[in-house]
Amino acid sequence: MIRSGMMTVYARMPSQRETSMVGYKLLVRCLVYAGALPFVGTALLALLPRVLPALDATALFTSYALVILSFLCGVHWGQGLAAQGRVPLNLFVLSNALVVLLWLAHAFLSTTVFLSLVLLELVLLLWIDRRLFSNGLIEPWYYQTRIRITLLVFICTSLVLLS
């Protein structure tokens, strides 16, 4: 309770659920940005003159991109399960197709083609998130985080592609 002159204002304490949600959002954001650190680090290494001759920064970058994009496709798979048919896309087929395409590109195509597909899939995965957001299936704070992190990873991928 806060008294100000003639008026008494009752300050509402946040509920345990609200406090827990703040911690949840913070944890998710921290993990998302921490997951981008290998992209930033290996992109910088790819741009610099060979610091460690035995280190192939581009190979590290491409393998990490494959892992993370596979992870994002897995997130979409989970969102498809949780939505129980309310998703405007077949996330099960789409996520599998994107992972297999990227894996085959990584295994059999040049680094340039692979990184170009990474750029394309980053945009496509964000478009999927936009559709999920528009249908009320993901929260605004998460969608905003995805936009920012996609932009960061897109820039890092572009830099490695041009290096």
Complete DSSP assignment for 85-152: T--SS-HHHHHHHHHHHHHHHHHHS-HHHHHHHHHHHHHHHHHHHHHHHHTTSS-HHHHHHHHHHHHH
Is residue 39 scored above 90 in pLDDT? yes
Please tell me the pTM assigned to this model.
0.82
* 89 backbone φψ class: left, alpha, beta (φ>0; ψ -120 to 50): beta
How is residue 13 annotated by DSSP? P
What local confidence, expressed as pLDDT, does residue 76 receive? Answer: 92
Q: Report in angstroms the alpha-carbon separations of 76 from 14, 29, 43, 69, 99.
A: 32, 17, 26, 11, 11
The model's confidence at residue 49, banded by pLDDT at 50, 70 and 90, is confident
pLDDT in tens, 99-115: 999 999 999 999 999 99
What local confidence, expressed as pLDDT, does residue 83 receive? Answer: 82
Per-residue tokens: 137: 């299936």
**Amino acid code (one letter) for 56:** D
What local confidence, expressed as pLDDT, does residue 6 receive? Answer: 58
Q: Are 103 and 45 in contact (CB under 8 A)?
A: no
Q: What are phi and psi of 16, to 5 degrees?
A: -60, -35
**Amino acid code (one letter) for 16:** Q
What local confidence, expressed as pLDDT, does residue 89 receive? Answer: 80
Is residue 12 scored above 70 in pLDDT? no
What local confidence, expressed as pLDDT, does residue 19 receive? Answer: 59
